[in-house]
Amino acid sequence: MAFTDLSIAKDAKIMPIQVIGNQAGIPEDALELYGKYKAKINVDLLPPAEKLGKVVLVTAISPTPAGEGKSTVTVGLADAFKQLNESVIVALREPSLGPVMGVKGGATGGGFAQVLPMEDINLHFTGDIHAITSANNALAAFIDNQLHQGNPLNLDPRRITWKRALDMNDRALRQVTIGLGGPAQGIPRQDGFDITVASEIMAVLCLASSLEDLKERLAQMVIGYTYDKEPVLVRDLGVEGALALLLKDAFKPNLVQTIEGTPAIIHGGPFANIAHGCNSLMATNTARQLADIVVTEAGFGADLGAEKFMHIKSRKGGFNPDAVVIVATVRALKMHGGIAKTILNEANSDAVGRGMVNLAKHVDTIRQFGIEPVVALNRFITDTPEEIAEIMDWAKAEGVAIALTNVWEQGGKGGLELAKLVKEELERPTNFAFLYEETDSVEEKLRAIVQKVYGGADVLLSDQAQKQLANIKKYGWDELPICMAKTQYSLSDQPKLLGRPEGFTITIREIMPKLGAGFLVCLTGDIMTMPGLPKQPAALKMDVGADGEAIGLF
């Protein structure tokens, strides 16, 4: 195909953002323009909603390098609802610049199911992630400054847990020593940089319900421990006001549009491992205030993204999804069936059949939450009728609603069948239930996730995690939901165990209290919080024309 995402985006007819805002019922005064096609929404100026919109959560099977096109389906589904004359808004995460420069080139859907202006959204957008980087590193500078200025808080430099952050793929910054060079240059200590989207501040921004809540959450973040092992919070430094000030504009949701002119609110983009992996509560709430149907997505597969959407975001937001879409592809199911990426283009119905177990597990999981999922089988040009039939037959036998989608090529039209099935689910009441309560013990919460969501046998805590859990209990932080940091590739904690592994035990290596975000991060295996660049970064193909035209975002 001669089309690229960028060429399609450039040929698309984009409307002034006021037109989109007007269509979404946003008074012009509530729009703060960023150029002609982006705006921040001043939510204080929105009219009160008569009723709140229903939420469609788009999740997926366990991701593979074959790609599932979850964002593309999310956008295409919203466009399909628009074609059906529904009042709809799509709510998405903001792309991180690091992966864009590194491997992705762009992250705003694909083909004819994209959000615009894709160059802007993929580059600096409205500066939200930069504001988070600033706040994160201002806090780090305040911490090291107080160490340098006599350390009145008695902070143990070996026990500082707050790391610096950059919105960059930069492996050389994972482990650093800082404060070198003598008495005028601070206190030497070990430190490290995370990618900004892994910063707790990103999670805080995404879970706060108001500016006041934002400030309170910032104040509550743990930055380290004293020599007496007592926790030190941002509140103790007294800089939560300055951090909130740095974030005051970033906290406002951003309005853009899809290629088909559907309003899109793109706001916040926390990692789906170290954090909860979905767009901001502000964005979802704003979208629900404005539209009857809100289509949104969660990161990675349903074991990570959807589980956290339910247990963390929905719980904080006081709502639950009214329908869930699970995106699958023939290609990815073949990989779950044991086929290597290099021969995915060869027809192999048997492999599809073997890989179906992964989809089946995610369907089960969503059903456990009391929601009947709809499967979106996202078509690729190499799919054969036999391979597709393999999946369709399975769905029929299992009583699972399933629709073929072809939104990359056709936009909303390629998602009409899916939209109709989802609409049926939206009209049916759900029977939503959490799989654990916040008041359960940490061990019980972990077991619920591992057994019910991952399909594993049990959970083990490392010595370090046990010690950390004892402290967490001591400080009374144990009544928080769990945020699992696990490989996205497998239901287990072993990235190579594809399909539907069984009988496995998950080992919790570390438990990190994130009091600002309001969850306990439980690390399994090695979780990368600062990606690296590949040998040939996507950036090598990027350029800008003399007229300011973006080149090489794809």
Question: Which residues from 123-162 bind a second copy, rule CB under 8 A?
Answer: 123-124, 127, 130-131, 133-134, 137-138, 140-142, 144-145, 147-150
Distances from the Cα of 199 to the Cαs of 245, 298, 525, 530, 531, in angstroms? 17, 18, 19, 10, 13
Contact 464, 509 (CB under 8 A): yes
User: Does residue 66 have a known ligand-binding role?
Assistant: yes
Minimum distance of a second copy from residue 180's CB (angstroms): 4
User: Are the beta carbons of 514 and 274 closer than 8 angstroms?
Assistant: no
How far apart are the C-alpha atoms of 410 and 414, rounded to whole Å?
5
CA dihedral 435, 295, 269, 132 (to 10 degrees): -110
Phi, psi of 503 (to 5 degrees): 70, 5
Which residues are within 8 A (CB) of 88 and not within 5 positions of it... i.e. 6 or more apart?
78, 81, 82, 262, 263, 291, 292, 293, 294, 295
Identify which of residues 244 and 520 has a Cβ nearer to a second copy in the complex.
Answer: 244
Q: How far is CA 148 from CA 179, 223, 543, in A?
A: 9, 16, 43
Going residue by residue from 86 to 105, which x/- string records binding to a second copy, judged by CB under 8 A? -----------x---x----
What is the smallest separation between the CB atom of 225 and a second copy, expressed in angstroms?
19
**Is 68 one of the annotated binding-site residues?**
yes
Would you call 331 a catalytic residue per the annotation? Answer: no
- CA–CA separation, 269 vs 205, rounded Å? 10
Q: CA 31 to CA 225: how far, in whole Å?
A: 43
Residue closer to a second copy, measured from CB, 283 or 323:
283
Residue 121 Cβ, how far from a second copy at the closest point, in Å?
13
Residue 91 beta carbon to a second copy: minimum distance, rounded to whole angstroms: 22
Tell me the window of 82-90, 117-125, 313-321, 443-451 that interacts with a second copy (CB under 8 A). 117-125
Span 162-191, contacts to a second copy by CB under 8 A:
166-181, 184-187, 189
Question: Is 248 among the residues that bind a second copy (CB under 8 A)?
Answer: yes
Task: Give the integer Cα–Cα distance in Å for 466 and 459.
Answer: 12
Query: Mapping DSSP to helix (H, G, I), strand (E, B) and coil, where does residue 75 land?
Result: helix
Nearest residue (CB) to a second copy, 171 versus 229: 171
Helix (H/G/I), strand (E/B), else coil: 437: coil
Which residue out of 72, 108, 126, 529 is catalytically annotated? Answer: 72
Beta carbon nearer to a second copy, 360 or 539: 539
Out of 12, 24, 244, 272, pick the active-site residue: 272
For 174, counting Cβ atoms within 10 Å of its Cβ (0-12 exposed, 13-18 middle, 19+ buried), the class is: middle
Task: Decide if residue 7 touches a second copy (CB under 8 A).
Answer: no
423 annotated as belonging to a binding site for a ligand: no
Least Å distance, CB 198 to a second copy, is 16
The greatest distance separating any two alpha carbons of the chain, rounded to the nearest whole angstrom, comes to 72
Residue 248 Cβ vs a second copy, minimum distance, rounded to whole Å? 5
519 is catalytic: no
What is the nearest approach in angstroms of a second copy to the Cβ of residue 42? 8
Among candidates 16, 198, 12, which has minimal Cα distance to 110? 12
Among 27, 47, 238, 385, binds a second copy (CB under 8 A): 238
- The window from 241-249, 283-291, 352-360, 405-413 that contacts a second copy (CB under 8 A) reads 241-249
Residues numbered 249 to 268 that lie near a second copy (CB under 8 A) are: 249
Using CB under 8 A as the binding rule, the residues of this chain from 293 to 322 that contact a second copy are none
* 150: its two tokens: 């006599």
Q: 253 labelled as ligand-binding?
A: no
Residue 104 annotated to the active site? yes
User: Which residues, in sequence order, are CB contacts of 360 under 8 Å at separation 6+?
Assistant: 394, 398, 500
* Residue from the set 35, 47, 338, 495 that interacts with a second copy by CB under 8 A: 35
Site for a second copy in 388-447 (CB under 8 A): none
Footprint of a second copy on 208-227 (CB under 8 A): 210-212, 215
End-to-end CA distance of the chain: 13
Per rule CB under 8 A, count of chain residues that contact a second copy: 77
Quick check: is 72 catalytic? yes
Name which of 230 and 543 has its Cβ closer to a second copy.
543
Is 70 marked as a binding-site residue?
yes
> Which residues, 520 to 549, sit near a second copy by CB under 8 A?
532-533, 535, 537, 539-540, 542-544, 546-548
412 annotated as ligand-binding? no
Q: Which of 81, 162, 300, 309 is catalytic?
A: 300
65 is in an annotated binding site: yes
Partnered with residue 222 across adjacent β-strands are 233
272 is catalytic: yes
Residue 419, Cβ density class (10 Å: 0-12 exposed, 13-18 middle, ≥19 buried):
buried
380 carries an active-site annotation? yes
Beta bridge partner(s), residue 512 = 521
Task: Tell me the sheet residues that pair with 88.
Answer: 293
67 annotated to bind ligand: yes
Binding residues: 64-71
**Which residues are documented as binding site for ATP?**
64-71
So which residues are the catalytic ones?
70, 72, 93, 104, 272, 300, 380, 408
